[in-house]
Structure 1
Amino acid sequence: MEILTQSLASLATQVPGATRIFHHYKLDFCCGGQRTLGDALRKREQDPGPVVAELVQLMNSDNPEQQWQQASNPELVAHIFENFHQKHRQQLPELIRLARRVEHVHGDNDDCPHGLADHLEAMHQELENHMQKEEQILFPMLVRDIFPSGPISVMEEEHFEHGQALEKMQALAHNLELPVGACNTWTALYVGLKELKEDLMEHIHLENNILFVNRAEGEGSCCGSCH
């Protein structure tokens, strides 16, 4: 099937709604976006049939989701700032608070996500530093169709580190699997962690695979995904 030979990044950018499918099947379309769908499924030992069927259904439907590769750089930068940068700044402090509460109250439970709050604190600091560099240095250049290879490469490397941080976050949270009888705070924490993971992956995908790729032929330097 030809679709299996396409990269996760290209499917994510060309098929609106594909990222929801990739989240469901735990396929990394941001930092691991250059891997083909077939390779990614083989690595996870998953049957390609259901994934391909869902993607084909999306391709054949009238999907209202915006295809961001057709947007201008200013439009995409504004979307990323409002829907991801600002949202992350709200998400992480609350998740840290919830994690601290869960660790304090349920520290004697084997399923307690020990060390999660400290890890989220570190993620918060690293992500804030990263976003400030984008907002103050890189984004103003990109909206003027200037694609500086050095700063873009640095951001892509930091995106890879954010991806690793997400993996550690999920491991500390026991793959976001709630124990029987989990309290409301614990439940809210894991729901929020799932949302953060999906948001940050979408954020990285939009930057690595669309915004950072020079679509102005003959200008600047073209940079792809971090893998």
Structure 2
Amino acid sequence: MNTLDQPLGQLARQIPGATAVFFAYRLDFCNGGKQTLREATAYKALDAEAIAAELDALIGQPETENWDRAPSGALIEHILTRYHEYHRQQLPQLIHLAARVESVHRGHPECPAGLADHLEQMFAELERHMQKEEEILFPMIMRGMSAMARAPVAMMRHEHHDHVQALQQINKLTRNLTLPNGACNTWYALYLGLATLERDLEEHIHLENNLLFERIDGLGGL
């Protein structure tokens, strides 16, 4: 396989651990999944050959679950339990931590002012998005209504783009999650949780955009 000329989304599907590599280099394998590794690394001025070597080293390693081959019903159940339920737990916790940091450290030049409000808005939009998937899109897919599901899928893809932009705004507010010298435990816990949120949400979007929704676009079955 010529790793350099494969789309990021395909590499994320086929190579166990590839998403961790993409996350480390901040390569967008969710909404930018159709870009090849060569194109994505050129845009960010990264060493394409070195990253390709990292990915090649992962090929053949065992994986816990190959969601690319899993039935759509099992994939949907995994998305619901691993991501939908978890986002509903992690966002309120992060909002609380952000509000506390902003309150205690409002005079600090590196305080992430406006972060709590941004997270609240992000949570509200994500909650509406997940409800639409749970109440409309996922039941359609489970009933084999692939043709009718195409329009909702297009809308969900658009909203995924908005979610990624919301993650980018978090990085702007936090200077890419850079902790100041002497940061308190609450500040540390906040940025650690935000890093987990970014990784989880990107993995969540990848499973939908590059696996589940690709089946609908191709009118694949369960």
TM over 0.5: yes
Match of 2:179 in 1: 178
Q: Which residue of 1 aligns with 2:6?
A: 6
1:219 is displaced (CA, Å) by 5.8
| Separation of aligned partners in 2, 1:124 and 1:40 | 29
Using the TM superposition, give the Cα deviation of residue 45 of structure 1 relative to its aligned residue in structure 2, in angstroms: 0.6
Q: What residue ranges of structure 1 are gaps of 5+ in the alignment?
A: 221-227
Contact 1:13/1:209, CA 8 A, preserved across alignment: yes
Contact 1:9 1:209 in 2 (8 A): yes
Over residues 30-75 of structure 1, what are the superposed CA-to-partner deviations in whole Å (9 max), with x where a residue is unaligned?
Answer: 011111111111111111232111101111x332232211000110
Using the TM superposition, give the Cα deviation of residue 162 of structure 1 relative to its aligned residue in structure 2, in angstroms: 0.5
Unaligned runs of 5+ in 2: none
| RMSD between superposed Cα atoms in Å | 1.6
Equivalent position of 1:39 in the other structure: 39
Alpha-carbon separation, structure 2, partners of 1:52 and 1:97: 40
* Cross-structure match for 1:57: 57
- Percent identical among aligned pairs is 51
Deviation at 1:4, TM superposition (A): 1.0
- Structure 1 counterpart of 2:121, one-letter code: A
The CA deviation at 1:217 is 6.8
Over residues 116-168 of structure 1, what are the superposed CA-to-partner deviations in whole Å (9 max), with x where a residue is unaligned? 00000000000000000000001111122322111111111000100111100
Q: Within 5 A, what are the aligned runs for 1:185-196?
A: 185-196=186-197
Quick check: 1:145–1:216 contact (8 Å CA) kept in 2? Answer: no
Aligned-pair CA distance for 1:213? 1.6
Instruction: Report what 1:224 is aligned to.
Output: none
Listed one character per residue, the Cα deviations across residues 66-117 of structure 1 (whole Å, up to 9, x for unaligned) are: 2211000110000000000000000000000000000001111111101100
CA offsets per residue over residues 163-183 of structure 1, 9 Å max, x none?
Answer: 111100111111001011000
Deviation at 1:215, TM superposition (A): 6.8
Tell me the equivalent position of 1:66.
65
Measured in 1, the distance between the counterparts of 2:46 and 2:26 equals 10
After superposition, the Cα gap between the structure-2 partners of 1:135 and 1:48, relative to the gap in structure 1 and judged at 3 Å, is same
The answer to whether 1:213 aligns with 2:214 is yes
- CA displacement at 1:214 relative to structure 2: 2.1
